[in-house]
Structure 1
Amino acid sequence: MNHNTPLSPASPRPLRHLAAGRRRVLTVAQLRTYGVTTAELTEQCRPGGAWQQLLPGVVLLHPGPPTGEERLHAVLMYASRESGPSTPAGVPAQPGSDDPHGTPPAYREAMITGRAALTLHGFTSTPSLLALETIDVLVPRLRRLRSTGCARVIRTPALPVPQQVTGVPVAPVPRALADAVADLSDAAVVRRLLTEAVRGGHCEPASVVRELTQAKLLGRPHVVDAVDSLLAEGRAIAEDRLYRMVREYGLPDPVWNVDLRLPGGPHLGGLDAYWPEQAVAVELDTRAPRQDEDAMWSEYARKRETLERLGITVVHITPKKLRDAMEQQATVVRTALMAAGDRDPAAYVVVLPR
C-alpha cells in the first residue's frame, strides 16, 4: 500500500490515526480522502460516538467540547473554499500524509472578524474564544452560505487583506471593530473597544472611523458618542508622542498649543507647536474621515497657504507617522528649523495661548 492507495474502510486504523493527530477538526471531504466511508462517519458521529458534527460538513474528532482553537478552525472550514490542508484548490490531501497532524490549513475567501478577531489581536475587553456564543466569519458577499451553530456569517463586497494570527486568517483591527460594533447596543462596551484599539496601539482613530463610516454605523447615537471619545483619545495620544519626539530627538523647545494672529488683524489658526524665531510650525493632522472631510481638508489647506504666504513653514504630521516613524518626523522638523536661516524673514505675528 502506498500513500495514493485509499485505506481499507474495514480497517479501524485510519480512524485512530486521525483522532490521534494534533488537528482534530476536519471536513467531511478531507475525511473521505483519508479513507473514511459514509457509513463509518455516521457510526462515529452517532449520539455517544467518538466524533461529533460541529458544523455542516465539519467534524470534531473527539466527543468532548471543542477548544477555542478548534472552534476557530471549524468555522473557517465551514465558511472557506478550502479544499484540503495546505493543498492547491481542487487537489485533495493524500491519505497517509501528515496534514491532519499540525500543518495549518490554507483557507480561501474567509477570515475571522468581530469580537473573536479582536480577542486574537490581543484585546482584553473582549470575551475569550470559549465565552463567545458565536464566532464571526467574513466572506465575499456573493457566497451562498448561512449562519449556523457557532458560525455567524458576515458578508462584504470586498475582503480586506487578512492578518495571520496564531495560524488563523484574521480581519485587520479596524474592520473587526466595525463588525463587532455593528452587533453591539451597549454604549459603554463600544467605547471600551474603540478606546482599547487606540490606547493599545492597534490602529489609528482615522482608520476606525473610516470603517465605521463604510459600515453606515455613524447614524447610531451610542456609536457617535464613542467615536467622539475615540477622537479625543487619539489626539491626546498623538500630542504625547509629539512632546516625546521633541524631547527624545533633541529638538529645541517650541511654544505649545498656540493661536497665531496678525497684529490688529484676523485669526490665522491654531498650531500644536511653534518655533517663533525660526517661523516653523507643526500641526497634527487628526482629521477623521467623516462626511465633511473635504470641507475640513479645505480649511487645513487654506490655513497652511495663508501661513506660508507670511513666511511660516508648516509641517503636517499624522498620528500614524508619529507612531511608526518618529525619528523620520523629527528629521523633517529639524531640517525645517535649520533651513530657516536661508529664508526671508517671516511676517510678524502675535502668538497667543490656545
Structure 2
Amino acid sequence: MTHNTPLSPRPLHYLAEVQRRALTAAQLRAHGVSAAETNERCRPGGPWQQLLPGVYLLHPGPPTAGERLHAVLLYAARSSHDDPTPMVPSQPRMGGPHAPLHYTDAMITGLAALTLYGFTSAPPLPSVEKIDVLVPRARRLRSTGCARVIRTPSLPAPRLVAGLPVAPVPRALADAVAELADPGAVYRLMTEAVRGRHCKPAEVVRELNQAKLLSRPHVVEAVDSLRAERRAIAEGRLYRLVREYGLPEPVWNVDLRLPGGPHLGGLDAYWPEHAVALELDTLAPHHGLRQDDDALGSQYARKRETLERLGIAVVHITPMKLRQAPEQLASVVRTALRTAPDRAPAAHVMVLPR
C-alpha cells in the first residue's frame, strides 16, 4: 500500500457506535457513505432515519434530547452544510469533558437555551417541541421539524453550555417570551433570570424592547409584576439600613410640593428637619425596568437639581449599592444629616403622602 492509496471508509457500525449519532449528509459522504446508501438505510424499518433536511440519526427510535439539540445545530450551522470534515471520533455527553464541536453562525436560544442554563421554570428538554436556533438574517433556512429558525441582524457572542453554543440569557429569554402567551410563565422566567443572577433587569428589558415585545399586554404585566417585587425587596433593605445603623426615622414614601406651586417629585424617604431626601433608583417608571440609561439619568438629574436649588440635600442610591455596601450608604446619609446646619436654610415645602 502506497501513500497515495485511499483509506477504506470506516465500517457503518463504527459511525453509530463510536461517532456522534447525528451527522449531516456531507459528513456521511466523508466517511464513504453514498447518498444512495444513506437513503436505503433510512427506509421505513431501516437502521437510520432522517431527522431534519440533510441531517441523519444513525439509529431507529426517538432521538435523545442531546441528539435533537445537535441535529438542530447541524441543520442550522453554516459549516454543517459547507464543510464535509468528519466529526471528532467521540460522543461528547451533555456536560461531559469532551472538547465541544464548532457550529458556525448558529446557537440554541429560547426555552431550550434556558433549560440548558438550568432554569427550573423552563420545561425539560424532552418536552420542548420546537428547539429555537438563532442564525444571521442573511441565512436561507426555514423552520422545519423540531427546528425553529430565528433570524437576527447581529449574532450575539454565544455562551458554551454543555458543549453547545447557547445565546446569552437575555436574548434567549426574549426569544422564549416571543412564543409565550401566558403571563404567569413569562413572569416566572423573568423572575428566575433576575433572582438567579443570570442577568440584570436592564438587560432583560433591553432585549424585550429590541424584540418589540413591550407592546404585548401580558409581557408588560409580567414586567410590571417583576418591578413591584424588586422594589419591595429594595425597600425592605432600606428600612433595615435605617434601623440597623441607628439613623433617625424619616417619613417614608412622600411627595414634595411647593406651597401653591408645582409638584417636586416623589421620594422614598425624607428627613424634614434636616432637609435631606433619599431616592431609591430601582426600576424605570415606564414598563417597570430601566430601558434608557441616558433618559433616566437625565430625569433623576433634573429632580436632584431642582431640590438642591431649594436647599434640599439628595442622596441617590441603587439596589446594588444597598445590597453590597449598606454601611457605606448609612455613612453617606448620616453625613448629610449631620451637616444640615452648615447649609443655607431650605425653602419651605409641603410633605404629602405618596
Whether TM exceeds 0.5 here: the answer is yes
Aligned: 1:222 with 2:218? yes
2:134 aligned with 1:138, yes or no? yes
**Separation in structure 2 between the aligned mates of residue 2 and residue 275 of structure 1, nearest angstrom:** 92
Over the aligned positions, Cα root-mean-square deviation in angstroms equals: 3.8
- Are residues 1:258 and 2:253 paired? yes
CA distance in 2, matches of 1:119, 1:174: 14
Q: For the residues of structure 2 that align with 1:49 and 1:107, how far apart are their CA atoms?
A: 29
Q: Write the letter of the residue equivalent to 2:169.
A: V
Amino acid at match of 1:139: V
Note if contact 1:257-1:270 (Cα within 8 Å) is conserved in structure 2: no
CA contact (8 A) 2:276 2:315 kept: no
* 1:68 counterpart (20, 41, 65): 65
- One-letter code of the match for 1:304? R
Q: How does 1:223-242 map to 2 (within 5 A)?
A: 223-242=219-238
Measured in 2, the distance between the counterparts of 1:122 and 1:26 equals 27
Query: Aligned equivalents of 1:5 and 1:105: distance in 2?
Result: 29
Q: Kindly state the Cα deviation for residue 143 of structure 1 after the two structures are TM-superposed.
A: 0.7
Residue 171 of structure 1 and its aligned partner are, at CA, apart by 2.0
Q: SS at 2:108's partner residue?
A: strand
The answer to whether the Cα contact below 8 Å between 1:206 and 1:288 also exists between their aligned partners in 2 is: no
How much has 1:287 moved relative to structure 2? 0.8
Match of 1:98 in 2: 89
User: Does 2:124 match 1:128?
Assistant: yes
Instruction: Give yes or no for contact 1:114–1:179 (8 Å, CA) kept in 2.
Output: yes
**Residue 179 (structure 1) aligned to one of 151, 162, 175:** 175
Structure 2 counterpart of 1:8, which letter? S
Residues 86-107 of structure 1 deviation map (CA, whole Å, 9 limit, x = unaligned): xxx958348xx53555432112
1:41 paired to 2:34 = no
- Is 2:203 the partner of 1:207? yes
Q: Which runs of 5+ in 2 are unaligned?
A: 93-97
Per-residue Cα deviation, 1:216-255 (whole angstroms, up to 9, x for no partner): 223333233223223222322333454566788x584663
- Tell whether the 8 Å contact from 1:281 to 1:312 is kept in structure 2 after alignment: no
Inter-partner Cα distance in structure 2 for 1:330 and 1:27: 59
Q: Which amino acid aligns with 2:225?
A: S
Deviation of 1:292 after TM superposition, in Å, equals: 9.6
- Please state if 1:52 is matched with 2:49: yes
Q: Which one-letter code corresponds to 1:268 in the other structure?
A: L
Matches within 5 A, 1:84-95: 92-93=85-86
- Give TM-score, length-normalised by structure 2: 0.78
CA 1:272 to 1:121, structure 2 compared with 1: closer, same or farther past 3 Å?
A: farther
Measure the CA separation in 2 of the matches of 1:180 and 1:110. Answer: 17
Q: Return the letter of the residue paired with 1:62.
A: H
CA distance in 2, matches of 1:187, 1:126: 14
Cα pair distance change 1:210/1:279, threshold 3 Å:
same
User: Are residues 317 and 47 of structure 1, via their aligned partners in 2, closer, same or farther at CA, if it must alter by over 3 Å?
Assistant: farther
User: SS of the residue aligned with 2:150?
Assistant: strand
Q: 1:339 to 1:81 in 2, by over 3 A?
A: same
Displacement of 1:129 in angstroms is 1.1
Contact 1:263 1:350 in 2 (8 A): yes
Tell me: CA distance 1:36–1:212, structure 2 relative to 1, closer, same or farther (3 Å).
Answer: same
Larger CA deviation: 223-232 vs 194-203:
194-203
Letter in 2 for 1:223: V
Do the aligned residues in 2 keep the contact of 1:135 with 1:152 (CA within 8 Å)? Answer: yes
The separation in 2 between residues aligned to 1:353 and 1:289, in whole angstroms, is 22
For residues 309 and 3 of structure 1, what CA distance do their matches in structure 2 show? 87
Q: Does 1:18 align with 2:15?
A: yes
Which moves more between the two structures, 290-299 or 187-196? 290-299
**Alignment gaps of 5+ in structure 1:** none
- Within 1, Cα distance between the matches of 2:4 and 2:232? 62
Q: 1:244, 1:4 → 2: CA distance?
A: 79
Taking a change above 3 Å as real, the CA distance of residues 333 and 59 of structure 1, as seen in their structure-2 partners, is: farther
Report how many aligned residue pairs link the two structures: 341
**Aligned equivalent of 1:116, options 112, 115, 139:** 112
Specify the alignment match of 2:95 in structure 1: none
1:113, 1:137 within 8 Å by CA — same for their partners in 2? yes
Q: 1:288 to 1:55 in 2, by over 3 A?
A: farther
1:63-87 deviation digits (Å, cap 9, x = unpaired): 1211111111111111112359xxx
Paired residue secondary structure (2:128): coil
Counterpart position of 1:345: 343
SS at match of 1:136: strand
Distance 2:4 2:338 in 1: 77
**TM-score scaled by structure 1?**
0.78
Q: CA deviation at 1:300?
A: 2.3
Label 1:292 to 1:29 Cα distance change in 2 as closer, same or farther (>3 A).
closer
Specify the code of the residue in structure 2 equivalent to 1:92.
T
Q: CA deviation at 1:138?
A: 1.1
